[in-house]
Amino acid sequence: MRLNQIADNPGARKERMRVGRGIGSGKGKTSGRGVKGQKARTGVSINGFEGGQTPIYRRLPKRGFNPLHPSTTEAVNIGRLQAAIDKKKIDAAQPIDEAVLKKAGLCSRTAGGIRLLGTGELKAKVNITVTGASASAKAAVEKAGGSITVLVPPKAETAAKAEKPKGKKK
């Protein structure tokens, strides 16, 4: 067998129908699109149009909530922090802040802050300052002999401070 002898099975490839080539072709004049109107034209934009009645996406109630300004904190696990210390990208003797974490390549941006998470194991004694930290991350840093400073208090504490005692109305 040679490359020039290879062929498809008979009937495996179907030739395309040439439309708009006269009434005798069977697909002349309107080319199988029916008659006039928007659907006969190219670029039809009536997806979701239901003949003038209120469409389903407007009949059904809206659900969920998309915040206007979602928090964009970036997560860093303590296991990745320890790996960066082992590779000498971060000096554990120096104080570690968000700029040091970004320079070491543990996060791509610091605009929304960095949240320290407790996945992994931390062996080095570090003094770290981050925007937020999970309870397990705090425990891991303190277990290793280091200290952690959280810049933004957890939501539960801020909600308790914001709640005012209710007095009796006169």
Helix/strand/coil (H, E, C) string of the chain? CCHHHCCCCCCCCCCCCCCCCCHHHCCCCCCCCCCCCHHHCCCCCCCCCCCCCCCHHHHCCCCCCCCCCCCCCEEEEHHHHHHHHHCCCCCCCCCECHHHHHHCCCCCCCCCCEEEECCCCCCCCCEEEECEECHHHHHHHHHCCCEEEECCCCHHHHHHHHCCCCCCCC
- Please report the pLDDT score of residue 48 as a whole number: 81
Burial of 67 (0-12, 13-18, 19+ CB in 10 A): exposed
Q: Look at residue 44 and tell me if it is in a domain.
A: no
> Residue type for 25, please?
S
- Please report the pLDDT score of residue 87 as a whole number: 95
- Please report the pLDDT score of residue 47 as a whole number: 80
Report d(CA 80, CA 95) in Å as an integer: 17
- For the CA atoms of the chain, what is the radius of gyration? 33
- Please report the pLDDT score of residue 97 as a whole number: 93
- Please report the pLDDT score of residue 161 as a whole number: 59
Q: Look at residue 163 and tell me if it is in a domain.
A: no
Q: Look at residue 84 and tell me if it is in a domain.
A: yes
Q: Look at residue 107 and tell me if it is in a domain.
A: yes
Query: Would the pLDDT of 126 be above 90?
Result: yes
Average pLDDT over residues 121-149: 94
- Please report the pLDDT score of residue 61 as a whole number: 92
Q: Look at residue 110 and tell me if it is in a domain.
A: yes
Per-residue pLDDT band at 167 (split at 50, 70, 90): low
> Residue type for 162, please?
A
The domain that contains 119 carries what CATH number?
3.100.10.10
Per-residue pLDDT band at 168 (split at 50, 70, 90): low
Question: Token digits for 31?
Answer: 């080319």
- Please report the pLDDT score of residue 166 as a whole number: 61
How many domains are there within the chain? 1
Domain holding 84, by residue range, is 74-154
Report d(CA 70, CA 72) in Å as an integer: 6
Residues near 21 by beta carbon (within 8 Å), at least 6 away in sequence? 27, 28
Q: Look at residue 100 and tell me if it is in a domain.
A: yes
106, 147, 158, 81: CA torsion to nearest 10: 10
* Span 55-105, pLDDT tens digits: 998 999 988 888 888 878 899 999 999 999 999 999 999 999 999 999 999
- Please report the pLDDT score of residue 169 as a whole number: 60
Q: Look at residue 46 and tell me if it is in a domain.
A: no
Report d(CA 39, CA 51) in Å as an integer: 13
* Span 17-61, pLDDT tens digits: 999 999 999 999 999 898 888 888 888 777 888 888 999 989 999
